[in-house]
Every structure is written in C-alpha cells, then in structure tokens.
C-alpha cells in the first residue's frame, strides 16, 4: 500500500495493483499553436508546460505496473457522435469538424486529435476516445476499469476545470477514489485551475484528493 501523506485534504492511500493513471486529452488540438485551443484565442503555453511532469507521471505508473489510460476527445469523421449544440457553441469561424492548421478540428484520425509526441501511448496503454467532456460519458471506461479491478485513479491532463474535473466528478459518483496530481493538470486560465483544485478537496475531499507529482514520487520512495 502506498500512502501520499501530504495529499489534501488528508493522506491518500492506494494499492498500485488496483490503481490506474488517467491522462486526460493531452492532444495537439489543445496544447499546440494552431490547434483548437489556440483558435479559441487561448495561450497554450500553460498547458504545454505540464508535459514533462506528465511524462514523469506515466513513467512512474509504468515502473510500478499501474494501468495507464489516455483519453482523447475526438469525433468520428461524419460527426455522428457530436451533438449539434456542441458544434454550434460559440459561433466559431473554425470549430469542431472544420479544417484548421492541424486538420479537421477534434476529428479522430486528424493530426490535431493525436497526442503530443512526448505523451504518445505505449504498448499496453489503453486509448479511450470520448465524445464529451467526461471520460465516462458514452464510453466503456467504467467497464474497463472494473474488469481490471481498478478502485483508485491518479488523474492529470487538460483542462483542469473542464474535462479533468468532469471526469473526477463522474468517477467519484461511480465509487472510485481519485487523486488529482495537480501539477500534471492545467488550464488556459490559471485561476480556474486553482479554483478547481480547491473544489476537489473542499469539504473533506467531496470530489477527491490533490497532491503534487513530487509528493506522489516521495510516497513511492523506499
């Protein structure tokens, strides 16, 4: 059993054999210039800065033989799984399904929907394509985790207040114990990131726990 004593709001304990790392949407469309995030007018650099920490988190997980799940927000080429309201939101000149600098925005198989190279899935990792914000909505994630005996999740990715938080809340409702590795997550808006961390740990961990990568690494130290 591993215990992150410095986690908030109190110590978080987990068995690596029953724990998965869920890396949320570390895709070129969100992290790179020319991607969907940049087309929305965002500065993508806060998201790009967490890539080295995410690489380390995945390496730690693989070293300790934890399951690794990468989620990918991407729609089929016909957009049959994209609600019209989602596509219309924002009245964008270049939105979901349109052709942008990284190919059709958030469409499976397009360059922008792929993962940033440093976080490309490895053999044995699970890649889960999702049509919405949360990783459990309209996916087989719950079945995959339960079949593998997973009870605890270590979560990182982007953006903290949207897809990461939605996934944490979905997981919490399904009985998973979740730790947000907060420096492996990011938002285009730093204040939103920090507010989300506080919401997760508030009221005795109403959604889950939070800790830094260094605190998690220390928990594994002999």
- Rounded-to-integer distance, Cα 67 and Cα 90, Å: 36
Q: Enumerate the active-site residues.
A: 25, 130, 163
Which tokens in the block code for residue 215? 């605190």
What is the maximum alpha-carbon separation in the chain? 54
List b or e across 176-200, with b for residues whose CB sees 16 or more CB atoms inside 10 angstroms.
Answer: bbbbbbbbbbbbbeeebbeebbeeb
Helical ranges in the chain per DSSP H: 28-31, 36-39, 45-48, 51-63, 84-88, 141-147, 165-173, 190-205, 213-220
- Phi first, then psi, for residue 14 (nearest 5°) are -155, 155
- Rounded-to-integer distance, Cα 65 and Cα 135, Å: 22
Q: To 5 degrees, how large is the angle CA 127–CA 103–CA 155?
A: 30
């Amino acid at each position: 059993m591993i215990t992150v004593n410095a986690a908030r709001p109190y110590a978080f304990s987990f068995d690596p054999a029953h724990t998965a790392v869920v890396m949320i949407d570390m895709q070129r469309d969100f992290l790179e210039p020319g991607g969907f995030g940049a087309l929305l007018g965002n500065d993508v650099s806060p998201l790009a800065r967490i890539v080295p920490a995410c690489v380390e988190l995945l390496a730690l997980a693989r070293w300790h033989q934890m399951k690794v799940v990468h989620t990918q927000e991407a729609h089929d080429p016909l957009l049959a799984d994209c609600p019209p309201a989602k596509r219309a939101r924002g009245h964008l000149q270049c939105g979901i399904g349109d052709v942008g600098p990284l190919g059709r925005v958030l469409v499976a198989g397009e360059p922008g929907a792929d993962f940033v190279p440093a976080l490309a899935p490895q053999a044995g990792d699970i890649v889960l394509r999702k049509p919405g914000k949360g990783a459990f909505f309209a996916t087989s994630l719950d079945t995959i985790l339960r079949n593998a005996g997973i009870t605890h999740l270590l979560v990182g990715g982007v953006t903290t207040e949207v897809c990461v938080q939605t996934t944490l809340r979905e997981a919490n409702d399904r009985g998973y114990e979740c730790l947000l590795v907060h420096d492996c997550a990011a938002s285009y808006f730093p204040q939103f990131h920090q507010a989300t961390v506080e919401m997760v740990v508030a009221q005795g961990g109403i959604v889950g726990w939070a800790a830094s990568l260094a605190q998690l690494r220390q928990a594994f130290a002999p």
